Structure 1
Amino acid sequence: MIIYGKNTVKEAIVAKRAIYKLFLDEKKTDQKLINFINSNKLSFELVSKHELNTMTDNQNHQGIVADVEPYRYKDLEFLFDGSKKKVLILDQIEDPHNLGAILRSVEATKIDAVILPKNRSVELTATVAKTAVGALEYVNVIQVGNINQTINKLKSNGFWVIGTDMHADKTYKQIDTSVSIAVIIGNEGEGISHLTKQSCDYLVNIPMKGKVNSLNASVAAALILYQIADL
C-alpha cells in the first residue's frame, strides 16, 4: 500500500507499521526528516519529483512516499469484552477526504472504534491516510458486510444504537452516554438509509438555524464525537 505526506509516513514509522520501501524527493532534502528516518534504522531512495507524482497520482506528497504494510481492520468481537464502549458507525460515506477527517476526530476523542460497511463506503486508501494525517495508525476500524446485521449484534451485546436525522425530536446533546453506544452518521446527501434508521433505538438531530439544511459528514461527526467523548 502506498502512503504519502510527512506526518502520515512519520506516524506509520512511529507506530511500527512495516515499511517496505521509502522514497524521498532528491531535490527537496529535509535533514530533520532524514535524521528521523536514520534514527529508525530505515533506508530510503532518492527519486525525482516526477516519480513521486507518478506514485501518488499527482497528489500533495510533500516529497515523501512509502510502500507500507496494508492497514488491518479490527474484528467486531473486540467490542464485546463487557466494558462500556463508544462506537461510530459510518453509513454510505464514500468521500475519502470526509473519512480521513472523521478519523482525525475519532483519534482526538479516543472513541473506541469506527465501523464501515464493505459496500457503498470508501476503504482505507492513501487519500484517507493523508487526510487523517497519521490518525489512522491509532484508530480501530472495523469493516462489516452488513450494517443492519451488525446493529442487531451490537444490540444483543448491550449497545444502544442512535441514528442521526434532521427531523428527530431529540438533539445530539440528549444522547445517553452512561451505556455502551453506537452512533450512526450517514452521508450529507441521503443521510442514513431507511432500513438502518428503523433499526435504531432512537434518533437525534443537530440543530441548525441557517438556511443550509445539512452539515458536511465530517463536521457532523466531530460535533457528536465531542459530545459523547469522555474528555
Structure 2
Amino acid sequence: MLRFLRRTMLALILMFLVPLLAASGWWSVQDRPASWRQADWGASGLLPAAAQIPEARIHVMAARTGGAKGAVSVHSWIVWKTAQGPWRRYDVVGWGTPVRRDAYAPDARWYSNAPTIIGTVSGDRAEALIPRLQAAVDDYPNGRGSYRMFPGPNSNTFVEHLLRQVPELGVTLPPHAVGRAWLGEGLNWTRDAGGDMHVSAWGLAGLSAGPRTGVELHLLGQTLGIDILRPALKLPGIGRVGV
C-alpha cells in the first residue's frame, strides 16, 4: 500500500512538473518586453467596434501575463455589451481600486501578449445574463488591499467568482489561470450556482468536480484535470488540450 501511494504521488508530481517545464522552456525563447513600461497595452483588433454588433454579447478573455510568471499563468477579464450599448470591460489589477471598468480597450494586449476569447454568449441569452454579471461584479468580496499575485485573490479569482455566480455562461478559466482556485484563507469548500463542488486549502491545493469544471486537481495555483462534457485535458502551464 505504501509503495502504491508513493508511486501515485510521484506520478502526480510528474504530471504537474513536466507540462510546467515545457511551458517554461517555450516562454524562455519568446520575444517579450523588458518591463511594463515597454509593453504594448493597446487594442489588439480581436473585437469589432460595439456599433458593428447589433446584439448583446459577452466574452470571457485571457492573455499571458508579463515577466517570468507569464510562463505559467494568464490574466483574465470579462467584456460585454448590451444590444445598443458600448463595450464594457471589467478586470482586477494589483494597484489602487482592484476592480477596474474600462481601464483598457476591451481587447487590449496584456504585457504585449495578444488575448484569446475563452468563451462567448450572444443574443437574448447574453442580454438576460448581463444584469446578473453586473450584480456579481458589485458583489465581489475582495476589495482594496486584498490583491495577492499568488495564491490569490487576483485577477483570475475575480473572473472565476463571476463564472461561479453565473454558471449559465458555461465557461471555465484555463488551467494556468493562477488564482482561480482561491476560496479564502484556510480550508474552504463551496458549491457554486451550477452545482460544481470546490475545495481549497489556502489556495495552495484543492480539487473541483462538476458539470462545468469536469474533474480538477489544484496544486500551487496550477490545475491538472479533464473536461468531460467538452472533451479536453487540462494541463499546468499549457492550458486546455482537446477537440
TM-score exceeds 0.5:
no
Choose between structure 1 and 2 for higher RCO, CA contacts under 8 A separated by at least 6 residues.
1
| TM-score w.r.t. length of structure 2 | 0.28
Higher fraction of helix:
1
> Which structure has the greater CA radius of gyration?
1
